[in-house]
Chain A
Amino acid sequence: MARVGVFLCHCGENIGRTVDCAAVTAAAAKMPGVVHAVDYKYMCSDPGQQMIKQAIVEKKLTGVVVGACSPRMHEPTFRRAAAEAGLNPFLLEMSNLREHCSWVHEDRAKATEKAVDLVRVMVEKVKHNRKLHSIRVPIEPTAMVVGGGIAGIQAALDIANGGKKVILVEKSPSIGGHMARLSETFPTLDCSQCILTPRMVEVASHPNITLMAYSEVESVEGFVGNFDVTVRKKARYVDWSKCTGCGDCWAKCPVKKIPSEFDAGLGKRTAIYRPFPQAVPNKPVIDQEHCIMLTKGKCGACAKACQRGAINYKDQDELVKIKVGAVVLATGFDLWDHSAYGEYGGGRWADVIDGFQFERLASASGPTDGEIRRPSDGRIPQTVVFIQCCGSRDDKMGKAYCSKICCMYTAKHAMLYKHKVHEGRAVIFYMDIRAGGKGYEEFVRRAIEADGAEYVRGRVSRIYRRADGKLIVKGADTLAGRPMTVEADLVVLADAIVPRTGSERLAQMFGVGYDTDGFYSEAHPKLRPVETSAAGVFLAGACQAPKDIPDAVSQASAAASKVLGLFSKPELEREPIIARVNENTCVHCRACIAACPYGAIEDFEIKDRKGNVVKRVARVNEGLCQGCGTCVAICRSNSIDLDGFTDEQVFSEIVTLE
């Protein structure tokens, strides 16, 4: 006979405000099989858990239902408590009275009625629960970090320094990411390259790190502890084992006019190139799209120039399968394309540039050697207008969110400009100045007070290009309450931060959630900020939300510590929600084998004592089964069931709902 205990939580007032907990308790007490029903203010608190433990022992409970918050929140808490009292943890179920009831309904009578239903369903289900035991699986103690920007670099170094192997996969030919492109960094104005490049070199030389540059994740199988990741090593057409990075090849390359991605289109590069002089690895690749040899079959200038014979025009993409136990996604961001703003020229004018282009103009290693010269005619601009929130905080045209870093980098841009062009004018149109962070507000004040940046609170409605090349910026000064016009030589738009193109495909491969803007979703916005809904996959940097360098680095270190924590045990415990085949009734139609997304169901031959095959059946590999239940629904002979969600359990829930 089932002996079920029901425990109802008020969650302070969160549930009690809308649901009459006493009435639900009274109703629960009358449900068949319920021997104990009680409500309490905070069931997840220590006294609350004690109530459950005590009742399990004293009332000899065979099942427990906790009516409280979402099981995604506290199911592990209550199951642990049950286990401590000697009850198999899988004999405890939760009714979601908070997220699915009290928080979403106002009518107290109807909410209470629904709460009773929700409890009754779980009481019926728990009567059919069986004791289950967690499954232990071995962990492959190697981590993969996807993305070689500052976040990926930090995560890889931290994991490697913790003594575990790391595979760092980077899409472009060099690690370094956006940070390598910055001139100086706020709020200290230290040179970005000077603080970054030593880290990049450390990655390349670290014995625990395998760097896979110019590579992309192709597909992912497996699960936490045992991912099988296929990585595509893109054809480089240069044998890096022979290449010394001497540079003879790109000096001889005849295709010299390709806009450089690294210089945000302001500089030029050759078809065989390394993105920038401090690149790691410091070896070139051939850009297949522009190389004359690869497109037209003649040239070969680089092959002739290379004394090591490293050029190989016949190189091909290579797929490498790697086994890893955990993954850190650090794919970073892109800038939103401001051509959607027709009023700012829609991307037609060379002198309306984005933040990265300004960084490259201000950078000592940039196309102008650090002199601020405008792209159209190379003149030094005497008036620069900076427009913040270009695409941010604008859900009509761009993105609804604040991109967080633009206030700071715009202040920095204005400062760098004023340091280089003393008599120049820097006008900044802003909506609000959001300078939360250590030393940030002081930095903005410095830009205004010491460097004389003109901050104008208001939006720009239109930019024209006059025939003499001046950009006429029309805006509003909303503090003075008047329209204003600035004749500018250069306009810098602080475009919104958006996730990298292709990051959604990657998320789908790893089973990571992402929001409507494409940023990866953390498991909990406050308490699990680096985990994802996919166990063993962690987040670092701007792929999760717009972040500045200190935030990205902190999150990377946090993700690394999660990885190291996971790797600190040789085995992993996993929920035992897996499918089981009834071999007596299985007719070996193989429908389940075809349907299983994990290849977890195998053919099995039942043999007699002499080794003769008496029957062929399907059998579930417990290590591979993830418990989706697709096979159960597809089985024609009703021979598979799913632990935790058996037909019996589900039907008892449905029947109870009548």
Chain B
Amino acid sequence: MKTIGYFPGCSLHGSGRELDMSVKALARIAGVELKEVEDWNCCGASAAHNLNHNLAVALPYRDLALAEAQGLTEILAPCAACFARLKGTHVRVTRSPELAAQMREITGLEYRGTLRFVNVIEFIGRLIEGPLKGKLAPRLAGLKVAAYYGCLMSRGEDVIEDEDHENPDGMTAALEAAGAKVVDWNFATECCGGGFSMSNTDAVLDLSHELLADAEQAGAQAIVTGCPMCHSNLDMRQLTINQRGLGSHDMPVLYLSEVVGLAAGLEPKDMGLDRHFIDAMRVLDIASAAQTAQAAAAETAKK
């Protein structure tokens, strides 16, 4: 994996900048070149398929055709929604020649179906098995995290192929490599409110609150996710949830790439860790405090 196509999508240029920064920082130290798809357009995300089904396929179809024409074979789409739209479109047009013909006509471009798609979980999995092998230190030892997959990183039979849809564990290996302890909790695949963030904020507040509460009950000190939409709902809405009196949450929400980046010794600010609504810089302090406490306990036990 020397070079891989890169599809940032809108999120990674906006509310999900930290994901963009951390993935790029990881790729840099792993020696992987991210080749951004030239002239990419919106993937359709959570809006297009509500308006027009053809549009919802045609938008990502154009991206696929462009990427293929640019000689790319693999596309990394860190945003979970982009990944789902791109891969979902690939599955649909490769299965249905009629739909493919229709899309050819609409976009005037040809997609032959040669691309492979990588989401952030798989990308990081490959890095820690490959170029980053042996380069991660358990800097987060002592930190208890809830691995949160949401819908887009756990579901879609043909989109998420290697996960147990009900009890996914794709992040576990990377989190453990970073030293974090993954807690057993109930809401790993529950809905954060997703695309209702703007249109029905109340629903998002309720759902995200339940999620945060369960993570707290399970003893988690941080939530780790791979999806920018989940991230913004959980991170950005916490204060509003608290203001509404639903709870009093103070839970750092991190991207998987940030956690692995910390373990790889990257500067937190280079990954945008200082940009979170809920202070995320403290996870290192929590971990080191826990490590100190454990060392002290071990010392006492020895005596």
Q: Is B165 an interface position by the 8 A CB rule? A: yes
Q: How far is the CA of A343 from the CA of B186 in the complex (A)?
A: 10
Which residue of A342, A466, A472 is within 8 Å of B167 (Cβ)?
Answer: A342
**Counting CB contacts under 8 A, is B217 at the interface?**
yes
B217 to chain A: closest residue by CB: A467
Q: Does B218 contact A (CB under 8 A)?
A: yes
Judging by beta carbons under 8 Å apart, are A346 and B166 in contact? Answer: yes
Task: Give the interface size class of chain B.
Answer: 10 to 19
Q: Does B158 contact A (CB under 8 A)?
A: no
In the complex, what's the smallest C-beta–C-beta distance from A469 to chain B, in angstroms?
A: 12
The reply to whether the CB of B105 lies closer than 8 angstroms to some CB of chain A is no
The CA-CA distance from A467 to B190 in the complex, in Å, is 17
Q: Of residues 188 to 242 in B, which have CB atoms within 8 Å of A's CB atoms?
A: 190, 214, 217-218
Cβ-based interface call for B164 (8 A): yes
Chain A residues near B165 (CB-CB < 8 A): 342
Q: Is the CB of B166 within 8 A of A465?
A: no
Contacts of A466 in B (CB 8 A): 186, 214, 217
Cβ proximity bits B156-184 to A, threshold 8 Å, 1 near / 0 not: 00000000111100000000000000000
Interface: A598 (CB within 8 A): no
CB distance from A468 to the nearest CB of B (A): 9
Q: A466-B217, A467-B217, A467-B218 given as contacts; is B186 within 8 A of A346 (CB)?
A: no
Q: What is the bound-complex CA distance between A472 and B218, given in angstroms?
A: 15
Task: Please determine whether A346 and B167 come into contact, CB atoms closer than 8 angstroms.
Answer: yes
Q: Which residues of chain B are near A440, meaning CB under 8 Å?
A: none
Cα A467 to Cα B167 with chains together (Å)? 18
Nearest-Cβ distance from residue B217 to partner chain A, whole angstroms: 4
Complex formed: what's the CA distance from A342 to B165 in Å? 8
Closest to B187 in A: A464
CB nearest neighbor in A for B167 = A342
Q: Which of A343, A462, A467, A472 gathers most chain B CB within 10 Å?
A: A467
A84 to B15, CA, bound (A): 91
A294 CB to nearest chain B CB (Å): 37
- Taken together as a complex, chains A and B put the C-alpha atoms of A467 and B218 apart, in Å, by 7
Q: Which of B164, B167, B186 contacts A464 (CB 8 A)?
A: B186
Say yes or no: A342-B218 contact (C-beta < 8 A), given A464-B186, A465-B186: no
B183 smallest CB distance to A (angstroms): 11
Please measure, in the bound complex, the distance between the C-alpha atom of A197 and the C-alpha atom of B166, giving whole angstroms.
44
CB contact list, A342-360 vs B, under 8 A: 342-343, 346
- Chain A residues within an 8 Å CB radius of B214: 464, 466
User: A342 — which chain B residues lie within 8 A by C-beta?
Assistant: 164-167
Q: Which residues of A contact B167 (CB under 8 A)?
A: 342, 346
- Among residues of A, the one whose C-beta sits closest to the C-beta of B185 is A464
Residues of A with C-beta under 8 A to B187: 464
Residues of B within 8 A of A343 (CB): 166
CA distance A465 to B186 in the complex (A): 7
Chain B residues closer than 8 Å to A467, beta-carbon distance: 217-218
Which residues of B have CB within 8 Å of A346? 166-167
Nearest Cβ distance between residue A89 and chain B, in whole angstroms?
Answer: 55
Complex Cα distance, B146 from A467, in Å, reads 15
Contacts of A341 in B (CB 8 A): 166
Q: How far is the CA of A472 from the CA of B213 in the complex (A)?
A: 14
Residues of the A chain whose Cβ atoms lie less than 8 Å from the Cβ of B186: 464-466, 472
Residues in A neighbouring B166, C-beta threshold 8 A: 341-343, 346
CB distance from B157 to the nearest CB of A (A): 10
Q: How far is the CA of A472 from the CA of B164 in the complex (A)?
A: 21
CA distance in complex: A342, B217 (Å): 21
Residue of A nearest to B219 (CB): A467
CA distance A346 to B164 in the complex (A): 11
Distance, CA A346 to CA B190, complexed state (A)? 16
Contact with B along A443-483 (1 / 0, CB 8 A): 00000000000000000001011110000100000000000
Tell me the bound Cα distance from A466 to B165 in angstroms: 21
How far apart sit A223 and B152, CA to CA, in the bound complex (Å)?
A: 59
CB distance from B167 to the nearest CB of A (A): 5
Kindly provide the distance from the CB of A65 to the nearest chain B CB, expressed in whole angstroms. 48
What chain B residues lie within 8 Å of A462 (beta carbons)? Answer: 190
A466 to B190, alpha carbons, bound, how many Å?
Answer: 14
CA distance A299 to B13 in the complex (A): 72
Complex alpha-carbon distance, A343 and B167, angstroms: 8
In the complex the two chains form, what is the Cα distance from A462 to B166 in whole Å? 9
Residue of chain A at shortest CB distance from B216: A467
Min Cβ gap A620→B in Å is 56
Please report the C-alpha to C-alpha distance between residue A495 and residue B264 in the assembled complex, in whole angstroms: 47
How close is B212's CB to chain A, nearest CB, in angstroms? 14
- The residue on B at minimum CB distance from A464 is B186
Report A223 CB to chain B, min CB distance, Å: 48
Shortest Cβ distance from A621 into chain B, in angstroms?
57
Smallest CB-CB separation from A344: which chain B residue?
A: B166
Q: How far is the CB of A363 from chain B (nearest CB, A)?
A: 32
CA distance A565 to B155 in the complex (A): 58
Give chain B's interface residues, CB within 8 Å of chain A: 164-167, 186-187, 190, 214, 217-218
4 further A-B pairs in the complex, CB-CB below 8 A; given A342-B166, A346-B166, A465-B186: A346-B167, A464-B214, A466-B186, A467-B218
**What are 6 of the A-B contact pairs (CB < 8 Å)?**
A342-B166, A342-B167, A462-B190, A465-B186, A466-B217, A467-B217
Across the A-B interface, the 10 shortest Cβ-Cβ residue pairs: A342-B166, A464-B186, A467-B217, A342-B167, A343-B166, A342-B164, A346-B167, A465-B186, A346-B166, A342-B165
